[in-house]
């Protein structure tokens, strides 16, 4: 027997059946950015593929009732039963993401650098938002051929624009003298780790040897703050930056698959 598919208090979708478990929710900030309802699947488990086909109808009805135009799902790389199930329902694979991580940051010898890393201020937002709208080209909203890449530009620009008021994320700017070189959006956690939500080098500085200097500057910045471990997420198609992480001594956690459904 399955539980009722919709949590009426939140409007989230929750289906717990013998064949299928599926939880989803509307993504308010993407919906606001794109001007259409956007949803994400938070969890999907397929135990009986044939019976799950029948149960999926409840989720499709939830999408239709809310006029969702874009839905996404991210699955661990080995969840092939679920990935095939989603593809049978018009979800399409758009990217594999890797999770570079580095530990024992306090024990690393990091060369000194001449770049400055400081917290962004309100006056920095126009230039940082402009950078964010121009620098991200490898991730899912820019490579899905069914989507206008301008929505990706808008998404990352709005993310940066709204980040100064975020309770846990911190927007940093990296400069070479008076030149803006890069931005990082970071989250420090209670276990002395940090997560890099956004990392981007200005297009004007790309191909000029700044990448290695910027990432070393950030490692040193976190080392000085007492951080022990760093993690981030990157598209597998961004080969140049993957090689940079490898050169800096990062290791890679198991990857995830990303899927989009577009009405």
In whole numbers, what is the pLDDT of the chain averaged over residues?
Answer: 93
* pLDDT for position 56: 95
DSSP string, 17-62: -SSEEEEEEE-HHHHHHHTS-EEEEEEEEES-HHHHHHHHHHHHHH
* pLDDT for position 180: 97
Mean per-residue pLDDT, 75-87 = 97
Mean per-residue pLDDT, 199-210 = 92
Tell me the backbone φ, ψ of residue 172, rounded to 5 degrees: -115, 145
CA 217 to chain centre: 22
Q: How confident is the model at residue 10 (pLDDT cuts 50, 70, 90)?
A: low
Question: What does the alpha-carbon distance between residue 63 and residue 65 come to, in Å, rounded to a whole number?
Answer: 6
Question: What does the alpha-carbon distance between residue 215 and residue 224 come to, in Å, rounded to a whole number?
Answer: 14
CA 112 to chain centre: 30
In this predicted model, what pLDDT tens digit does every residue of 60-79 receive, in sequence order? 999 999 999 999 999 999 99
Does the pTM of the predicted model rise above 0.85?
A: yes
Tell which residue, 23, 35, 38, has the closest CA to residue 71.
38
Q: Is 98 exposed, middle or buried (0-12, 13-18, 19+ CB in 10 A)?
A: buried
In this predicted model, what pLDDT tens digit does every residue of 97-130 receive, in sequence order? 999 999 999 999 998 888 999 999 999 999 999 9
Backbone conformation region of residue 90, classed left if phi is above 0, alpha if psi is from -120 to 50, else beta: left
* pLDDT for position 237: 95
Q: State the DSSP code for 163.
A: G
Q: How confident is the model at residue 8 (pLDDT cuts 50, 70, 90)?
A: very low
At the fourth CATH level, the homologous superfamily of domain 101-255 is Gcn5-related N-acetyltransferase (GNAT) (3.40.630.30)
Q: How confident is the model at residue 9 (pLDDT cuts 50, 70, 90)?
A: very low
Helix axis angle for 80-88 and 49-65, nearest 10°, is 50
Backbone conformation region of residue 163, classed left if phi is above 0, alpha if psi is from -120 to 50, else beta: alpha
Strand runs (DSSP E) across the chain, as ranges?
Answer: 13-16, 20-26, 38-46, 70-76, 92-102, 116-119, 169-176, 179-188, 193-201, 229-232, 234-235, 251-262
Mean per-residue pLDDT, 191-197 = 97
In the chain, where the domains are located? 13-90, 101-255
* pLDDT for position 112: 84
Q: How confident is the model at residue 3 (pLDDT cuts 50, 70, 90)?
A: low
Mean per-residue pLDDT, 125-151 = 95
């Amino acid at each position: 027997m399955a539980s009722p598919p919709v949590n009426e208090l939140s409007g989230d979708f929750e289906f717990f059946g013998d064949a299928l478990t599926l939880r989803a929710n509307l993504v308010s900030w993407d919906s606001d950015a794109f001007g259409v309802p956007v949803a994400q699947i938070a969890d999907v488990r397929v135990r009986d593929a044939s019976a799950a086909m029948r149960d999926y109808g409840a989720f499709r009805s939830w999408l239709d009732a809310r006029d969702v135009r874009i839905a996404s799902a991210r699955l661990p790389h080995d969840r092939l039963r679920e990935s095939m199930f989603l593809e049978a329902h018009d979800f399409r694979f758009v990217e594999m993401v890797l999770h570079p991580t580095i530990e024992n940051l306090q024990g690393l010898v990091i060369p000194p650098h001449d770049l400055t890393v400081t917290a962004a201020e309100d006056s920095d937002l126009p230039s940082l938002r402009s950078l964010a709208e121009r620098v991200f080209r490898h991730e899912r909203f820019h490579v899905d051929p069914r989507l206008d890449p301008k929505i990706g530009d808008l998404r990352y620009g709005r993310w940066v624009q709204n980040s100064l008021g975020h309770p846990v994320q911190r927007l940093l700017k990296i400069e070479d003298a008076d030149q803006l070189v890069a931005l990082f959006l970071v989250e420090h956690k209670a276990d002395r780790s940090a997560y890099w939500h956004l990392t981007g080098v200005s297009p004007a500085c790309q191909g000029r040897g700044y990448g290695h200097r910027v990432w070393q500057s950030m490692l040193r910045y976190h080392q000085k703050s007492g951080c022990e471990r760093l993690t981030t997420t990157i598209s597998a198609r961004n080969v140049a930056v993957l090689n940079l992480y490898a050169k800096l001594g990062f290791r890679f956690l198991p990857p995830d698959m990303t899927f989009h459904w577009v009405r």
